[in-house]
Amino acid sequence: TGGTTARRNIEEARADIARFIGAGSTGQILFTSGATESIALAFASISREATQIVTSAVEHSAVLAASKRWANGRPVVSIPVNSEGLLDMERMQIALGHAPSFVSLMLANNETGVLFDISSAAQLCRQHRAVLHVDAAQGFGKVPVNVCELDCDYLSLSAHKFHGPKGCGALYVRRPAQVQPIFPGHQESHLRAGTENVVGIMGLAAAARVLADWPKHVGLIAEPRDQLEHSIITSIHGAVVNGHTTQRIASISNISLPHTSAADFVVQLSRRGLQISSGAACSSGRQPSHVIIAMHNDPLRAESSLRFSLSRFTTREEIAEAVHIVTQTYHHAALPRFDTPA
Ligand code: PLP
């Protein structure tokens, strides 16, 4: 019957995702409506023993919102990053020594692509008996993701970040018995009720299968990314790349252009056929990026930061075209400037 086929498709997808991320059992994979819901479910499952929440200053808004919603009176400690976007491990250690913690850290940053050293953070979490959730929405498919190597308790995924359908995600749970469902009911082993998004789940697994040879894809993206950055930096005086030069994924490039309002600039670029964003792709772009502020404490640098997205389908010709549009617009469009260019 259709129901049996649907069930089989879902369970095949679950087994594949479990295998791809190194989960010990298929019961540790729950399908959700996306990383936002996966993150919320991890936060909703915070145990009473955890008396503080620890996150970083550069997390996605989904984590920042969940840490407020599920704090239930617990203090939320925000660990700073340095100017390269890397986590301050000393502050992390001090925070974890303070109280039993629920920790949420992103694998790759959605605005800069910078990778946190999750394995080192996980070691600290283990020493201090903290529970660790990893938001791998951006990292999955760009770097190897293995829940045993990362040594995490929860891990969130989002299908549309690796060419899967929008509105579908997954949550890895080390100990399913500890999950406190937001939607109670019988589906997903009683941990996430509601008729399953069968097509979404199949799409998520299909997209993940394509990533099996991820190193080939990553190598393909780094070259056009470097070409993009090199060309913009050499043709716009004062343009700077935000984020660590090597410890990052290749599909995101974040560049600040001097004296420019990124929010106005992206509108101009869009009219010329180039779609990029200022700040997080999902935010309105009118707020200066909290990520660049956390790295540089410089509102002008944050307001002038552009986020370029590349994929394994981006061609050298498209990069050359993008560079042309950016430099032409920068040098010739009538744009409001912060102050007179030097
Ligand atoms: N976390 C990060 C780092 C993201 O980039 C996103 C993207 O939107 C999310 C969480 C939320 O994912 P979703 O759109 O699947 O809810």
What token pair was written down for 140? 């999955």
pLDDT digits (tens, 9 = 90+) for 130-178: 999 999 999 999 999 999 999 999 999 999 999 999 999 999 999 999 9
Residue numbers annotated as active site: 282
Distance CA 254, CA 242 (A): 5
Probe residue for ligand 1, chosen from 39, 41, 60, 106 as the CB with the greatest number of ligand atoms within 8 Å: 60
C-alpha 268: how far from chain center: 27
pLDDT at 287: 81
pLDDT band with cut points at 50, 70 and 90 for residue 292: very high
Taking the whole predicted model, whether its pTM rises above 0.75 is answered as yes
Q: What is the length of the chain?
A: 342
Mean pLDDT of all residues belonging to the chain: 93
| Chain mean position to CA 16 | 22
Give the E-state strand segments of 234-304 in sequence order: 240-241, 252-256
Angstrom distance (rounded) from CA 252 to CA 213? 20
List 123's β-bridge partners, or say none.
none
Q: What is the pLDDT of residue 286?
A: 66
pLDDT at 217: 67
The pLDDT value recorded for residue 54 is 98
Asked if 61 contacts 280 with a C-beta cutoff of 8 angstroms, the reply is yes
Cβ of 191 closer than 6 Å to ligand 1, yes or no, is: no
Spatial CB neighbours of 145, under 8 Å, sequence gap ≥ 6: 20, 21, 107, 136, 139, 155
pLDDT digits 0-9 by tens, 183-242: 999 999 999 999 999 999 999 999 999 987 666 667 788 999 999 999 999 999 999 999
In the chain, what is the straight-line distance between the N-terminal and C-terminal CA atoms, in Å? 71
Measured in whole angstroms, the distance separating CA 297 from the mean position of its chain's CA atoms is 21
| Parallel, antiparallel or unpaired: strands 305-309 and 252-256 | antiparallel
- Measured by CA distance, the residue closest to atom 16 of ligand 1 is 36
Ligand 1 close to Cβ of residue 13 (< 6 A): no
Cα–Cα distance between 174 and 24 in angstroms, integer?
9
